[in-house]
Amino acid sequence: MTGGSTAGAVNPATDVVLDVRDLATHFRTERGFFRAVDGVSFSVERGRTLAVVGESGCGKSVTSLSIMGLVPEPPGIRAGGQILFEGEDLLTKTRAEMEEIRGAKIAMIFQEPMTSLNPVYRVGDQIVEGLIKHRGLSAKAARAHAIEMLRLVRIPSPETRVDAFPHEMSGGMRQRVMIAIALACEPQVLIADEPTTALDVTIQAQILDLMRDLKGRLGTAIILITHDLGVVAEMADDVVVMYAGKVVERAPVAALFDDAQHPYTLGLLGSVPRLDADQDRLQTIEGMVPTPETMPVGCRFAPRCTLATDRCLNEMPPLRDLGAGHQVACWKAPIDEVAA
């Protein structure tokens, strides 16, 4: 990790800044309860990046919105668990208390900047708003800081762009503005929900370089929500793999890529195109993600798993510790022993 003195002073082995424990967020629907997040646990340490990966609909974004206190109730329901930040459970905070934390201590980059930015306000005003609210700056000082934030995220001519409207900027520049808003108050935790979606590869690389640089400068903990395993390999220190609202594997990034143990994780890795592979077609994971009314009794991946047994179909596997920070929820793991 690159960076300055703030990050260097951190002891990442002991400094857990956010601890999610058995989080459950459900939604009431016409067909019953949908367990979008069902017993999810993970922690992220200061100055490190935790990637949360999985297919669309696995619960990644709902997890991030639950941390931010942005799940609408109804139809959302806080069904259980804890989100511990600075020793306090965010799920017990009032709306007013979360408004003081959100943006100041925990910030989020949303998936689509064009819909996340207010189209009728200039981008500078949208940065200034948080600085005045959370840091008590004067309007003049806040504007000066907003210009500096735009310069920090490499917006050209920030003195001019501070007065631009979102529609006057490209997609990559709007994403940079979202990062500037999120980092303006120097939060301890940054949640980035698919921060490079719909951007061309050149802009993607610039955005990732920027996030890496800012993590080094500020010692910020990053939760990276993504389905792009290339981004995970480049950015993450640790990885959580989710499937149908559950964590199925959790490991340091090197261990996940070198020795993945859950059949779903292996399927995700196998579906990534490789330039050195001699293959006529991409590998796929057969079957479909279960719907709320067809949720399996046992392992939720069992109906799509080639290794599934009757036990897999009827008993939910717990997360088991394989050592060195590697955990997996699979009755058949370690997979290499099964293969042997």
Q: What is the per-residue pLDDT across 76-101, written as a single tens digit (0 to 9) for each?
A: 888 899 999 988 999 999 999 999 99
Tell me what the mean pLDDT of segment 102-129 comes to: 88
CATH code of the domain occupying 37-236: 3.40.50.300
- Give me the pLDDT at residue 282, please: 65
The mean pLDDT value for 50-67 works out to 91
List, in order, residues 6 or more apart from 196 with CB less than 8 Å away: 175, 203, 204, 207, 208, 226, 228, 231
Q: Is the pLDDT of residue 339 over 80?
A: no
Contact (Cβ atoms closer than 8 angstroms) between residue 338 and residue 263: no
Q: Using one digit for the tens of pLDDT, what is the confidence trace for 154-203?
A: 889 999 999 999 999 988 888 889 888 988 888 899 999 888 776 778 77
CATH 3.40.50.300 residue ranges of the chain are: 37-236
Report the alpha-carbon distance of residue 208 to residue 212 in Å, rounded.
6
- Mean pLDDT of all residues in 322-340: 77
Give the per-residue pLDDT at 13: 45
pLDDT value of position 280: 62
